[in-house]
């Protein structure tokens, strides 16, 4: 398996009902640069197929896009949505014909972004989709940026990026990154609320081969403050789905009760070939999980981080960025709230190595006080922060906070926020995970929730 090309997209939804329903969900992408040398960019998951994969029907979307620098005089960015359905014998890379939906443009020396609402689409489950950015005119070298879809699909979208190299591995672990060896805290996602039911989609570029199969299980753990996701004791479920033979590439399954305890906060997909090192190369492997959370009565999307060689843990906002912390804080370090706004959030952070030094990291939330206009980036706005919601002291690895009131205005940028107190804690270069789920201001009774996750960098 070529891990440099594996794509993982993990989608969840949180619902007061224990069945798949169409509510709010989110997909998000960040840009290391909105420009670079590319004039035609398809963006979704980080590498390879560059497609998100959805296991729920999508019939309308809201879309937000922003860059930290305007395109420049005479330059135009035109952005569309492209989508196509999957069947059992098809992976995203097999699709040659896409349905295109116009979204908007960013033009000239002053515009930095745009937003569109209630765009009608017909994306059946399961499907692959991506956004596409086409440049014309002389372009300015732009800073980081953020693009996000809010949909009527009842799922939360997580995605991660693999790196390194391997070939036809027997077992691979799917989280913010994919790891088939030297598994660590990176190969997990954060679930800040109890998980009740799990369903989804599993898809690979190459079928396993005659007489072979790839199975999917779910692993979960409940770390204490001194543990990360990997060092906590893990439980692995029975097989929830599989693909087999020389032609099958995709399988979808409905949410099922896997008996996951309410204390579980870390989870991953575990993919296993039926015979060690013999399955066909699974380049561009996609996983999407529908997760019903309870007993908290809210549904929505959650966010988590992604990792690359430039990543290091530090103070400041953390959302879906993979920017080096020594660099300028770009829009990519924020999520975008839905048009309903948000009223409360739960979240957490886990570090692979215990905090050194003295004092502690204090974790809270930060939000812009308004949504950006077409001539503003998120970082052009004013911000307000919550009080400390949980802390990671020297010698510890993680902290989580339960659902806490925190108002995020409609379409604003928001993130987890990390500060220090009591000394100088150190975690230079330590891999870490983070995640948030939130409830919307539109339905305080049910606490209908939306936040955002996922990462891709285009340089």
Of 270-279, 411-420, 449-458, minimum mean pLDDT range: 449-458
Closest by CA to 64, choosing from 413, 430, 458, is: 413
Query: What is the structure's pLDDT at 403?
Result: 86
And the tokens for 130? 């991506």
Give pLDDT, residue 31. 60
**What is residue 58's predicted lDDT score, i.e. its pLDDT?**
86
Assign 448 a pLDDT band (cuts: 50, 70, 90): very low
Answer yes or no: is pLDDT of 355 > 70. yes
Say whether pLDDT at 89 is over 90.
Answer: yes
At residue 70, the pLDDT reads 86
Residues 318-324: what's their mean pLDDT?
59
- Share the mean pLDDT of the chain: 76
23 vs 348, residue with greater confidence: 348
Whether the bond between 246 and the residue before it is cis, its omega within 30 degrees of 0, is no
Determine the pLDDT at residue 269: 86
**Tell me, what's the pLDDT at 397?**
94
pLDDT at residue 223 in the model: 94
Q: Residue 321: pLDDT band by 50, 70, 90 thresholds?
A: low
More confident residue, 435 or 78: 78
Could you give the CA distance from residue 385 to residue 334 in angstroms, rounded to a whole number? Answer: 13
What pLDDT, on the 0 to 100 scale, is given for residue 49? 47
Tell me, what's the pLDDT at 384?
A: 97
Among 62-71, 121-130, 156-165, 409-418, the least confident range: 156-165
The correct answer on CATH 2.60.120 for the domain covering 161-293 is yes
Residue 175: is its pLDDT beyond 50?
yes
> What share of the chain in percent tops pLDDT 90?
30
Which of 181-190, 205-214, 313-322 has the largest mean confidence?
A: 205-214
Residue 36 reports pLDDT greater than 80 = no
> At residue 69, does pLDDT exceed 60?
yes
Higher-scoring residue by pLDDT: 314, 353: 353
Q: What is the mean pLDDT of residues 140-149?
A: 73
3-state secondary structure the chain: CCHHHCEEEEEECCCCCCCCCCCCEEEEEEECCCCCCCCEEEECCCCCCCCEEECCCEEEEEEEEEECCCCCCCCEEEEEEEEEECCCCCCHHHCCCCEEEEEEEEECCCCCEEEEEEEEEEECCCEEEEEEEEEECCCCCCCCEEEEEEECCCCEEEEEECCCCCCCCCEEEECCCEECCCCCHHHCEECCCCEEEEEEEEECCCCCEEEEEEEEEEEEECCCCCCCCCCCCEEECCCCEEEEECCCCEEEEEEEECCCCCCCCEEEEEEEECCCCCCCCCCCCEEEEEEEECCCCCCCCEEECCCCCCCCCCCEEECCCCCCCCCCCCHHHCEECCCCCEEEEEEEEEECCCCEECCEEEEEEEEECCCCCCCCCHHHCCEEECCCCEEEECCCCEEEEEEEEEEECCCCEEEEEEEEECCCEECCCCCEEEEEEEEECCCCCCCCCCCCCCCCCCC
Each residue's pLDDT tens digit, 246-283: 999 999 888 788 888 888 999 888 888 888 766 665 44
Tell me the pLDDT tens digit for each residue of 378-393. 989 999 999 999 999 9
Q: Return the CATH number of the domain spanning residue range 21-158.
A: 2.60.120
Burial class (CB in 10 A: 0-12, 13-18, 19+), 138: exposed
CATH class of 302-440: mainly beta
pLDDT at 127 over 80: yes
Residue 9's pLDDT is 38
pLDDT at residue 254 in the model: 82
Higher pLDDT among residues 384 and 442, named by residue: 384
Q: Binning pLDDT at 50, 70 and 90, where does residue 205 land?
A: confident
Q: Give yes or no on whether 161-293 and 302-440 have one common fold.
A: yes
Where exactly are the structural domains of the chain?
21-158, 161-293, 302-440
The pTM assigned to this predicted structure is 0.83
For residue 44, name the pLDDT band (cuts at 50, 70, 90): confident
Closest C-alpha among 350, 368, 338 to residue 307: 350
Judge whether residue 301 has pLDDT over 50. Answer: no
338: Cα separation from own chain's centroid: 16
Instruction: Report the chain's C-alpha Rg in angstroms.
Output: 20
Q: What are phi and psi of 229, to 5 degrees?
A: -60, -35
- The per-residue pLDDT for 369 is 97
Four-residue CA torsion sign, 203, 206, 212, 217: negative
């Amino acid at each position: 398996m070529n891990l440099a090309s594996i794509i993982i997209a993990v989608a969840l939804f949180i619902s007061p009902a224990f069945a798949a329903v169409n509510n709010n969900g989110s997909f998000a992408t960040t840009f290391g640069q909105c420009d670079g040398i590319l004039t035609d960019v398809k963006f979704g998951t980080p590498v390879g197929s560059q497609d998100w994969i959805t296991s729920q029907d999508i019939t309308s979307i809201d879309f937000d896009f922003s860059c930290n620098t305007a395109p420049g005089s005479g330059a135009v960015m035109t952005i569309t949505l492209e989508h196509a359905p999957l069947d059992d014998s098809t992976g995203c890379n097999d699709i040659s014909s896409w349905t295109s939906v116009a979204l908007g443009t960013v033009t000239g020396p002053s515009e930095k972004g745009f937003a569109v609402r209630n765009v009608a689409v017909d994306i059946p489950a399961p499907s692959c989709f991506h956004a596409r950015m086409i440049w014309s005119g002389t372009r300015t070298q732009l800073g980081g940026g953020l693009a996000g879809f809010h949909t009527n699909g009842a799922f939360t979208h997580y995605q991660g990026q693999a790196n390194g190299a391997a070939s036809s591995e027997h077992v691979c672990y799917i989280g913010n990154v994919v790891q088939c060896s030297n598994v660590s805290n990176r190969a997990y996602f954060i679930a800040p609320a109890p998980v009740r039911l799990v369903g989804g989609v599993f898809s690979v570029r190459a079928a396993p081969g005659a007489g072979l199969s790839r199975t999917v299980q779910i692993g979960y753990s409940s770390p204490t403050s001194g543990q990360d996701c990997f060092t906590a004791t893990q439980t692995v479920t029975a097989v929830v789905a599989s693909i087999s033979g020389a032609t099958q590439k995709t399988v979808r399954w409905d949410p099922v009760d896997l008996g996951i305890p309410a204390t579980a906060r870390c989870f991953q997909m575990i993919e296993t070939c039926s015979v060690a090192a013999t399955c066909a190369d699974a380049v561009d492997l996609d996983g999407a999980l529908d997760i019903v959370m309870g007993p908290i009565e809210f549904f929505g999307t959650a966010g988590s981080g992604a990792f690359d060689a430039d990543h290091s843990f530090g103070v400041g906002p953390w959302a879906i960025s993979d920017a080096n912390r020594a660099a300028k804080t770009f829009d990519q370090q924020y999520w975008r709230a839905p048009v309903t706004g948000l009223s409360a959030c739960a979240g957490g952070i886990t570090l692979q190595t215990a905090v050194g030094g003295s004092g502690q990291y204090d974790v809270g939330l930060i939000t812009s006080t308004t949504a950006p206009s077409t001539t503003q980036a998120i970082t052009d706005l004013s911000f307000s922060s919550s009080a400390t919601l949980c802390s990671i002291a020297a010698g510890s690895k993680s902290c989580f906070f339960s659902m806490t009131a925190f108002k995020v205005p409609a379409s604003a940028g928001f993130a987890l926020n990390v500060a220090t107190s009591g000394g100088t804690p150190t975690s230079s270069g330590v891999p870490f995970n983070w995640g948030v789920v939130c409830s919307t201001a539109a339905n305080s009774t049910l606490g209908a929730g939306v936040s955002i996750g996922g990462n891709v960098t285009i340089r």
